[in-house]
Structure formats: C-alpha cells, structure tokens
Amino acid sequence: MISYIKGKIAAIEDDMLILEAGSIGYNIRLSLSTIAQLPPAGADVKIFTYLNVREDAMNLFGFISRDDLNVFKLLIGINGIGPKVALGIQSALSSDELRFAVLSDDVKTISKAPGIGPKTAQRVVMELKDKMKLEDAFENLQGSSDAGMAAAGTAGTGDAKNEAVQALVALGYSGAEALKALKQAEINESMDAEMILKAALKKLSFL
C-alpha cells in the first residue's frame, strides 16, 4: 500500500521513527541497526515501508534500503516469525550477514538474535536457503570501491568465492566471520579460490 515515505525526521525513539511528510507525522517501527544508520532529527530521509494490518492494530515498519525490506518480508513469511521477531533478527544481523549465514548453514550465528533459538534458526536456514543468493551478499558488501567487479558478476569469480567460504567454514570459522574476512580482503576477478582463501585468512590473522 505504501512503498516508501520521504520526509523530515521529527523524532527518533528507542525503536521508532516519527517521520513528518505532507504535514502528517508517521510512526514507523525500525530495527536497532536501522536506527543507528539514521541522520539526526531535522534531516530529510527516505524510508521504505511495510504496512502490517491486524485486527487490533496497523503498524508501519521501516527500512533504509529496499533490500532490507525484502529480507524482512522473507522473514515474516516463515511460520512462527512475526514482525517483532523479524526486526530483532535484523537488529542483530545485517541483511548480508543473515544472507550469508543462511547460505553457509550458520545456525549458531542466527540463533544469537533475540527471540531465536536453535530450532527456529534452523527453520530460517531451511526456508530461506533457496530464496537467497550468495552473489547478492558479495555484491552488496563489495560496495562502490569494487563496483566494477560486482557488476561483472562472473560465474568463475562467484564459484571461487563460494569455495573459499566453504573452506573457511570447514576450518571452523562461522559464516559471519568468513563474510567479514572476504569483505575486508583485497579480491579481484583474476583470483582463484586458493588465492581468495589466503587473502581472507590473512584478515583473520591466521597467517
């Protein structure tokens, strides 16, 4: 119903943003990580929204990026996970960290989110694994400094990264740790899996 709202930040509360747009103040619920990314009160901001309608309430949930909104929709589509729990997951993990944890079967990292036990975390992995792509996480994390390689998105590079990730997990690192290591490593499209693995291990102070 409401794709996004663009307006001025009137106030930021513990878990809510009051956004003024068209002389209307919208109460928008946010994850803690989203609140941390907001500019100060008085600044203009664009918030992607999801309207949750129940018999006794109508709540707007907000996100800095469309990717965060899409991940939220995936989470609330899982049996037993409502908007509040979904925001808790997104407070603990960025969309890319969650994506990577799901694709690397990292139940331990997901279960650290508030309200998420091992069984629920396993269900998140099972239900989202076919709906998320490893390449999306890498593309988002590489950022503008590596935009050219991300745009290329060659199959060979993706396969090499995937192999490096699997090797890191086999060595005992969590999915989140592997993701951060690859994010920080200097990787280019000419590198094979072994070279990527060595670069990531250096960032993990293994070498």
For the packed helices 155-170 and 175-184, what is the interaxial angle rounded to 10 degrees?
A: 130
Over residues 118-123, the mean pLDDT reads: 93
Asked if the structure places residue 9 within a domain, the reply is yes
Q: What is the pLDDT of residues 25-65, one digit of tens each?
A: 999 999 999 999 999 999 999 999 999 998 888 999 999 99
- Residue owning tokens 């946010």: 30
The crossing angle, in degrees rounded to 10, of helices 95-103 and 175-184 is: 120
H or E stretch covering 122: helix 118-128
pTM, whole model, 2 decimals?
0.72
Q: What backbone phi and psi angles, to 5 degrees, belong to 89?
A: -65, -45
Q: What is the CATH number of the domain that holds 30?
A: 2.40.50.140
Question: How many domains, in total, are found in the chain?
Answer: 2
Q: Which neighbouring-strand residues pair with 34?
A: none
Domain that holds residue 39: 4-64
